[in-house]
A and B are shown apart, each in its own frame.
Chain A
Amino acid sequence: MDAVSLTQKIQASRLLTDVEKNYWSGNLPHMNEGQIAKLVSILAEAENLSWNEGMQDYLAIANKNQAAPV
């Protein structure tokens, strides 16, 4: 993956704070291939997180207990 695409992936990550985004983007030029591959796989895992799964489960339970369901 080229540096531009990887930088975009870093910036788009919902898991990273702004400080961390800057940190990883800034470190890219100094990282070796193995480290970059590792970062790509970590970012991919974060990207595939089912962020709303817990929320949906909660809503289902909340709706059961509500007199007026949404």
Chain B
Amino acid sequence: MQGSASGGPSENRDAQKPAPKTGEQLDNSRTEVTTDLLLEQVRNQKFEEALYTLTNLVIGPKAKETFNSVLQKLGNKITRPDAEKMAALASQKEERDPTVRRILASLANLSTEVGGAVVDQINPFTRNITTFVNVFSERIKPYAEQVAGKFGFAGGAEGALQFIKDFIFSRIADVLEKTAMSFKNIPKANSIFETAFQLRRLSMPEKTDEDKILKKKYSDACVAWLKSTKTTPPPTPDSVSAQIAQAQNKPAETKPAEAVAEKVEGSKAVELVDGKKVTFTNVNRETKVEVGGLTRKVKIAGESVPEAAVIKPAGVEKGIVEFRMPNKNVKVDLIALHQAVKEDKKQLDAVDGTTKINLEPV
């Protein structure tokens, strides 16, 4: 074009060369570049890079001012799940640190020497997230209240710090649970669920008796759920709390019907899992048990058992037999009894763990 021919390319570059920036302008540029870079990295799912950009910002020059400016500029543009992915990735990196691994091994050895192992063992992934959150919390300590304020919490610095830790633990647990649900490999999914449950437990308070009960009940619910066929959503502290409240308000008569004991009269066969079968006979106030052609007379403290009753609802794997003596009733696990007779054992323990049941050949 005609107008553009008035100067050469190098002449144009000289004319457009920006004037040197002041310190304030440089700070503003740094904030803008950092914010743009963070958003771009998160948009492209490069969470690892985004995390290090953020870390560098916190440990870099004029950290507080730049950190605040970037937070303001970011607003709600980075979603919580994305932030959590960054945290999880950072924790995975630390797992590979040989020094950390050596120190942990030394601690484990010392723990054994002191007289046991750490009570509440947690898996390596949980530890990594915990370590990351501890390091991260320490870094943001000076700005803890402001960061907590972003999430709607107002309070002292220590309270704010705890809030942030709990918040991160809880949100990471959310992400882990969602991730685990997409796994078809059950052991792998269980392992991820376990991590999520441990993180939730870490964020649960233990100040009052109610807190402690809830934490215990939540742990029990998690264990039961992991063993279940997972047809219901995983338990959460809120869902367990609601169950406790419901149970407290529930009238006693709504308890599930108890299994009925069926007295052995003559002969009674009981089907167990995998086609296993136990047959009891009671003739002349003597109880016998038969498994796979082996018959044994049941005796307790040298006495014959005058009466027996089987307690095993149909379709339920577990069941017990109650041996009724003149002075007490003794309960025995049916599967344990089946195994003892099959293996030709002479004795087994009752459910109470103290009474011995003798099995004598007929």
Contact = CB atoms under 8 A, between A and B. Distances in A.
Contacts of A49: 97, 99-100, 103
Contacts of A56: 56
Nearest to A13: B134
Contacts of A18: 130, 202
B110 A70 contact: no
Contacts of B118: 19-20, 23
B48 to A, nearest CB: 8
A35 B106 CA distance: 11
Contacts of A52: 55, 59
A52 B94 CA distance: 10
Contact of B100 (A15, A23, A30): A15
Contact of A15 (B30, B57, B103, B113): B103
Given A17-B122, A30-B115, A52-B59, A38 B135 contact: no
A68 interface: yes
A55 interface: yes
Contact of A54 (B36, B97, B113): B97
A25 B30 CA distance: 44
A42 B332 CA distance: 49
B342 interface: no
A15 B131 contact: yes
Interface size class of B (residues with CB under 8 A): 35 or more
A42 B110 contact: yes
Contact of B202 (A17, A51, A69): A17
B37 A66 contact: yes
Contacts of A51: 135
Contacts of A58: 48, 52
A62 B49 contact: yes
Interface string B123-142: 00011001100110010000
A65 B118 CA distance: 44
A31 interface: yes
A26 to B, nearest CB: 9
Contacts of A30: 114-115
Interface in A28-46: 30-31, 35, 38-39, 42, 45-46
Nearest to A35: B114
Interface string B221-243: 00000000000000000000000
Closest 4 CB pairs of A and B: A19-B120, A17-B130, A14-B134, A23-B118
